[in-house]
Structure 1
Amino acid sequence: MECAAAMPPKSLCVEPWAGADPRRWLVVEWRNMERSQGNVPYALKKQDGWIYNLGVDFIVKLGERGQGRRLAVLEYLTADDEWPGHSHPTEDEIFYVLKGALTFRCGKEEFDVEQGGFVFLPRGIEHGYRIRGDSPAHLLVVTAPAPGPEAGIGWDGFVSGLETTAELRASPPAP
């Protein structure tokens, strides 16, 4: 199916990134958020932010280009029972479990974390998680530092490549 046929309102399609399944499109959607330019305070309501659909909707609360790159804040809800092992060479990750129960793996360590729990996963160590039970997990994730787009790696580097396209092809929703 072509991306345009499945797009929600106020969204756009972006070609898959290098190494992704070429049959899969990435949907970037506005949700009541204007792009911040520079160091400007702002507040977001529930479900507001930039949405990147990677099989799961990642709601980016902070970490977009022009907002500073000290960290990125993401929120997502997933029913996928396991997130495969991966690592980030430059970023630490912090997970706060809003709902659900998970087992996080980091190197040889395992941590059982439930609603209200927190886990820190240092950069450079392979990590992943699996959901325990039948309920989806709702997570708030902080990555730090979020490297600039010149690095071409990490969440901010990945997102900045998509933002250039998004800024050119999308406009904020009407007030």
Structure 2
Amino acid sequence: MRAAAPNRKEAMDDTTIRPYALAQGTGWTYNFGVDFVVKVGELGQGRRLAVVEYTTRAGEEPPDHTHDTEDEFFYVLSGELEFRCGTERFEVAGGGCVFLPRGIEHGYEIKSAGEVQLLAITAPAPQAAASGWGGFVADFEQEAELRISPPEG
């Protein structure tokens, strides 16, 4: 069964949240510098967390930044990166993970050659959870073109 992307009004209505399953390699794909495949969106499907899978390579890293409304958790599916969070540094390779709390400047540098695959999970600050939290997933859900939706099935 295909999971429909919610419209903005539905995203605020808990009665529209329905169970769904996605096959490998499917989700709602937005290009926001790289292709982000949303598995659970911030503005719909759950709103207590967001889950995004993406593939990137050296030179496509985001600049250091801070999220005031969300914590981030990265699970490295493949590749090697150095994550920065405040004064801390973490070398993380495939199968490893890192937690980056809100309010602390962070970023990462890709250390391996070729592609790196990441699963990023964000969770809102308690005061931001009720209606979406304006995190990075909402940025592309609201601003980027939805290029691919999960197939019917």
Name the TM-score class by shorter chain.
Answer: 0.7 to 0.9
Tell me how far apart the structure 1 counterparts of residues 136 and 52 of structure 2 sit (CA, whole Å): 10
The counterpart of 1:41, out of the listed 19, 23, 42, is 19
| Residue number in structure 2 paired with 1:128 | 107
Aligned-partner SS, 1:86? coil
Question: Runs of 5+ in structure 1 lacking a partner?
Answer: 1-31
1:109-151, Cα deviation, whole Å (9 max, x unpaired)? 0000001001000001110001112122100000002856966
Deviations 1:42-61 (A, max 9, x none): 11112211111012100000
Q: Deviations over 1:16-54 (max 9, x none)?
A: xxxxxxxxxxxxxxxx65336623221111221111101
Higher alpha-carbon deviation: 111-120 or 72-81: 72-81
1:33–1:133 Cα change, 3 Å: same
Structure 2 counterpart SS, 1:161:
helix
Alignment correspondent of 2:13:
none
Higher relative contact order (CA 8 A, sep 6+): 2
Corresponding position: 1:153 with 2:134: yes
TM-score normalised by the chain length of structure 1 = 0.68
TM superposition shift of 1:173 = 5.6
Q: Which residue identity lines up with residue 64 of structure 2 in the other structure?
A: G
Secondary structure, counterpart of 1:88 in structure 2: coil
Identity between Structure 1 and Structure 2 (%): 51
Indicate if the aligned counterparts of 1:149 and 1:160 stay in contact, CA closer than 8 A. no
Tell me the matched-pair count.
140
Name whichever of 75-84 and 105-114 sits farther off.
Answer: 75-84
If you compute each CA radius of gyration, which structure gives the higher value, 1 or 2? 1
| TM-score (ref. length: structure 2) | 0.76
Matched position secondary structure for 2:136: helix
Distance 1:98 1:173 in 2: 24
Find out whether 1:77 has 2:58 as its counterpart: no
